[in-house]
Structure 1
Amino acid sequence: MIQLLLVLPLLVPLYGAILCLFCWRKLQVQMAIGVVTQLGLLTSSIFLLQVVNKQGIVTTQVGNWPAPFGITLVADLFSCLMLVVSAVVGVSVFLFSLRGLDVKRMDFGYYPLLLLLQLGVSGVCLTGDIFNLFVWFEVLLICCFVLIALGGKKNQLEGAIKYVTINFLASGFLLTGTGIVYGLLGSLNLAELALLVRSAEAHPSLVTLAAMFFLVALGIKAAIFPLFFWLPASYHTPPIPISAFIAGLITKVGVYALVRLFTLVFVLELELMLPILTYVAGFTMVIGVLGAASQVDFRRILAFHIISQIGYMIMGLALYTPLALAGCIYFVVHNILVKTNLFLISGVVAHRHRTFALRKLGGIYLKQPTLALLFIISAFSLAGIPPLSGFWGKFMLAKAGFETGSYGIVATSLGVSLLTIFSMTKIWNEVFWKKKPETTEDEIETKVEKYENRLLHLPVVFLVLFILVLGLGAESFIQFTLKAADQLLNTDIYINAVLKDVK
């Protein structure tokens, strides 16, 4: 029964996508299948999280081939949290898509593609070997490429080409690193690799070389400095539901893979890697937030903030203490929810006013006070204003930095938080507070448009509730992330769970 629960996050979106393909010409049926599938994925992920929390790491071997020879699926607390939050985001994006996406794009397979994208996310989080990590990332790449290009507009195609070109390069690095690891150690199973790297048989310089390939490959996918330039050029081009899902979730999957590999397999390389990651984290924060502050488009500001916030997550890995890794996990969950919600809010604004340009917007505080409140909660959380979720994540990381004497990266993170407040205030002033420019025509909403606009608020409210719970219930969730960080640092727990049947 537990093994079935472990594979459900893969089977549910896969079968949902297949059913949608069978109903290719029936969009209403696809919508219903998509919503039911997302709710099923959320439910199964929550149950799996409860099982792992009570019983510890859960594993299964596909086809009953014993580890390390078969395909291993592993669920620990960090991977389960990723599954749950991705399902939460999936539900909200699907609800937004019901009214926030035009029929033309739905006709080209939007719903099955989004479900296959979630299949890829689940695969990355549950895989127990490096080769299947590469395979699942390719599933993500293909789905993201098609979704970004869906609709065929010039700016979408331009963004899609940039996205796929640089990510194919990342895939090449990832495959090269995989080949080096296999040629050196003769295994791809993460648990066995963790043992082999510790052994005297492992050649230190070649292991370091493999680690660098994985750092570059996953660094591109996570959009760390200086490998981030593809992100702001592509994430603002597709329709809002696609932007929100990809921008909110996919780069954090790259962070998840980095944390997994550098806490399990490449632990012996940390003396070299941690100083590099510290500088990378600082530059990622600063460049991202400066880019956001210079933009004049709602979505482009949010796109650059993705880069900046990734820096905080890398900071948690670079500090490499239980509290720092717990802060990293907390920040990943927080940022997925907040960033997705801010993109959805920009979509609600654009649905009503037909633009993302700050200079053409204004006065929304008076016309849509509920939306203004939802934006303030999400923006304050992103900036780290207490007692919202962003504050607790940054507090944990800052405390871990002070405990390790890493004052430079802590000062950088605090300074970046101030600049984040500035850019969020910029959006507030330009979009919500200032009077709408007289040169811009005031749109007249029909009754149908008012109804649709209110429906678009529902997924935003849905995510805001999770953001509030994450902030106001921070004590319980922090304890949970500390437990997840303990699992990451005590690698013997993972190894024994996977290789328990190996004599």
Structure 2
Amino acid sequence: MMAALLVLIPVALPLVTAALLLTLTGRARLQQAASLVSGGVLLANAMLLCARTASGAILVLPLGNWSPRVGIVWVADALAATMLFFVALVSYTTLLYAAGSLRERERRYYYPLHQFLLVGVGGSLLTGDLFNLFVFFEIMLLASFALIALGGRARQICMGVPYVIVNLVGSALFLVAVGAMYGVAGTVNMAELAVRAESAGLPDVFWGAAALLLTVFMVKTALFPVFAWLPDSYPEASVTVNGLFAGLLTKVGVYTLFRTVPLFAGAAPGVLQPALVAVAATTMLVGVLGALGRSTIRGVLSFHIVSQVGYMIFGLALFTPLALAAGLFHTIHNMLAKTALIFAGGIAERIGGSGKLYAVRGLARTQPWLAAGFFVAAMSLAGMPPLSGFWGKWFLVTGGLAAGAPVATGISLLVGLFTLASMLKIWNAVFWGEPEGQRYPSRGRYRGMLGATLALAAMTVATGLLAAPIFSRLERVATQLLDVTPYVTAVRAAESHDARAEAP
């Protein structure tokens, strides 16, 4: 019963909270207080899930008396639990930031939409079948469509149109792929699909559908060449929404690739491996070059979302426990560092009244705590020791050389230098020099916004200092990902219709 509750809470709690918050529309303080209480419970639940899955246990919750082959099943393993923990962290700090950054008309609906987004994210991380992954993706995307247009500015809505179109097309292709796979294999349960994929004998239609599905996940992740929708749409959302999206949405796409590629590819990725390596390396390079060409704070940072996703998928593409663990480490590091950077950039925008570089200067002198938060997160993103970004890149370089991918590894190092250059570009334009253009200095002193930024920056420091034990856990996660047998065994054990199945 306890295990069933732990698996249920990440979806059920945000759903109940969202319904409650809709009844409190117009009462922003009560909405924020209820959201923070719910967020605290969600964080505690994620910690318990991490503890329960640390030894390799897999918690399975089947709904109803259906066989997992055709029924709904939720699965919490070490990967899902780890991602849920960092999702809860980013979500909680975003709620702290939101109170000071949102306009009055944005506050009315932000908090319930935030919770609906968490329903989609939590369900995407926990679902054990592809059709329900589609359903939770749609919940997540509907909430994100509303959030990206929150405030109703003309340019905001205009630049959000590509986001909507690309994701709607992706959703349609997702449904086509799932339908084709069900028609051929007779199931969309991930564990059952892994068994069928390993046994071979599936027709080309199945593998074509699998390729289409992975392409959809690439779109959701903003990998090259299907990334152009992200750098234009994200900066037009409010800063709070931009930070939430940067920390969560593309990382759900990364998660789906980490989850499904080993299930479909088995122990021999074949032609998929060089293709993923090439896509990852190109994404890194194109993303960072785009960042160097942008002239706004969040424009630079949004292109870096694309670039950093390339590092994560590079770890997956190498298909070794070391490299997969490195990709996962880079994912959790980026969730913290990128959100901190966007939050810091948002405060700078508020102080200067504009997000353009050089519109405001000298913040290091007048806002030293803000400057410290930005600097720490920026240096972490660039890979400076001993911060979390350094260890993420170090593990990836080690894994890349060990796996025999020197060219892509060299590109990752080059991109690291370009990342440092783009972070210094923002630092020199906004934080360095004599104070200028600080039209609204009091806007930088709101405790919730600054506190959330500094908390995330401090977490990047802590993650770097605790890199050894964190990476050790992630290596176990990676090993579990590559060996799908325990996952399949746990899900199949749910056929006994017990509310919980654990596989060591």
2:66 alignment partner in structure 1:
65
What CA deviation, in whole Å up to 9, does each residue of 1:180-208 have, x standing for no partner? 111110001110111111224412x2232
Q: Name the SS of the counterpart of 1:270 in structure 2.
A: coil
Aligned to 2:91: 90
Structure 1 unaligned segments of length 5 or more: list them.
Answer: none
Length, aligned pairs only: 495
Is the CA contact 1:42–1:84 (under 8 Å) kept in the aligned structure 2? yes
Encode CA deviations 1:350-402: one digit per residue, 9 max, x unaligned: 22221111121211011011111111110111011111101111111111111
Given that 2:185 and 2:206 are in contact with CA atoms closer than 8 Å, whether structure 1 keeps it comes out as no
| TM superposition score normalised by structure 2 | 0.96
Aligned to 1:61, the other structure's residue is in SS state strand
Distance 2:61 2:440 in 1: 57
Q: What is residue 144 of structure 1 aligned with on the other side?
A: 144
- Distance across 1 between alignment mates of 2:489 and 2:133: 20
Q: In the superposition, relative to structure 1, how do residues 268 and 180 fare at CA in structure 2: closer, same or farther (>3 Å)?
A: farther
Deviations 1:114-145 (A, max 9, x none): 01101111000000000011111111111111
- Equivalent residue of 2:210, what SS? helix
CA distance in structure 1 between the partners assigned to 2:170 and 2:494 by the alignment? 35
| Deviation sequence 1:165-192 (CA, Å, 0-9, x none) | 0011111221111111111100011101
Alignment map for 1:95-114 (pairs within 5 Å)? 95-107=96-108, 109-114=109-114
**1:166 matched residue in structure 2:** 166
Counterpart residue number, 1:79: 80
Instruction: Deviation per CA, 1:278-334: give whole Å up to 9, x if none.
Output: 110111000000000111100000000000001101101110000010011111111
- Give the 3-state SS of the residue equivalent to 1:73 in structure 2: strand
* Counterparts of residues 1-20 of structure 1 (less than 5 Å): 1-20=2-21
Report which stretch shifted further, 281-290 or 23-32.
23-32
C-alpha distance in structure 2 between counterparts of 1:467 and 1:268, whole Å: 33
Q: Which residue of 2 aligns with 1:474?
A: 467
Matches within 5 A, 1:483-494: 483-494=476-487
Residue aligning to 2:230: 231
Q: Within 5 Å, which residues of 2 pair with 1:290-309?
A: 290-309=289-308
Question: What secondary structure is seen at the aligned counterpart in 1 of 2:75?
Answer: strand
With normalisation by structure 1, the TM-score equals 0.96
- Report if aligned partners of 2:123, 2:133 keep a CA contact under 8 Å in 1: yes
Shift of 1:65: 2.5
Give the whole-Å Cα distance in 2 for the aligned partners of 1:166 and 1:265: 25
Q: Any unmatched runs of 5+ in structure 2?
A: 497-504
Structure 1 pair 444–501 and aligned structure 2 pair: CA distance change class (3 A):
closer
Q: Residue in 2 aligned with 1:175?
A: 175
Summarize the Cα distance change of 1:417–1:200 in structure 2 as closer, same or farther, 3 Å threshold.
closer
- 1:464 match: 457
1: distance between equivalents of 2:440 and 2:8? 49
* Paired residue type of 2:246: A
1:232-381 to structure 2, matched below 5 A, reads 232-267=231-266, 270-381=269-380
Whether contact under 8 Å (1:296, 1:359) holds in the other structure is no
Query: Counterpart in 2 of 1:405?
Result: 404
Local SS of the residue matching 1:401:
helix
Question: What one-letter code is carried by the residue in structure 2 that aligns with 1:26?
Answer: R
- Alignment partners' CA distance in 2, 1:328 and 1:374: 24
Q: In the aligned structure 1, how far is the partner of 2:197 from the partner of 2:440?
A: 65
The residue type paired with residue 125 of structure 1 is L
Could you tell me how far 1:25 is from its partner in structure 2? 3.2
- Taking only aligned residues, the RMSD between alpha carbons, in angstroms, comes to 1.5
Give the direction of change, closer, same or farther, for the CA distance of 1:202–1:29 in structure 2 (3 Å limit): same
* CA distance 1:275–1:121, shift in 2 (3 Å): same
How far apart are the structure 2 equivalents of 1:365 and 1:318?
A: 40
Q: Within 1, Cα distance between the matches of 2:191 and 2:142?
A: 28
Following the alignment from structure 2 to structure 1, what is the Cα–Cα distance between the partners of residues 140 and 73? 19
**Structure-2 change in CA distance of 1:450 and 1:190 (3 Å):** closer
Offset at residue 78 of structure 1 (A)? 1.0
How far apart in 1 are the matches of 2:69 and 2:491?
8
Question: Shift of the alpha carbon at 1:451?
Answer: 4.8
Report SS of the residue matched to 2:236: coil
1:110-149 counterparts in 2 under 5 A? 110-149=110-149
Q: Which residue of 2 aligns with 1:443?
A: 439
Which residue in the other structure is 2:492 paired with? 499
Report Cα offsets for 1:30-78 as digits up to 9, x if no partner.
1111111111111111111111114611111012433223210001111
The structure, 1 or 2, with the larger RCO (C-alpha pairs under 8 Å, 6+ apart) is 2
- The residue type paired with residue 185 of structure 2 is L
Distance in 2, Cα, partners of 1:222 & 1:334 = 16
Asked if 2 retains the 8 angstrom alpha-carbon contact of 1:211 and 1:266, the reply is: no
Distance in 2 separating the partners of 1:79 and 1:164: 27
SS in 2 for 1:231: helix
Aligned equivalents of 1:5, 1:268: Cα separation in 2: 31
CA shift in 2, pair 1:430/1:200, >3 Å: closer
State whether residues 61 and 494 of structure 2, in contact with CA within 8 Å, keep that contact through their aligned partners in structure 1: no
Same amino acid, percent of matched pairs: 38
List per-residue Cα deviations over 1:376-435 (Å, max 9, x = no partner): 110111011111101111111111111121100000000000000000010111111133
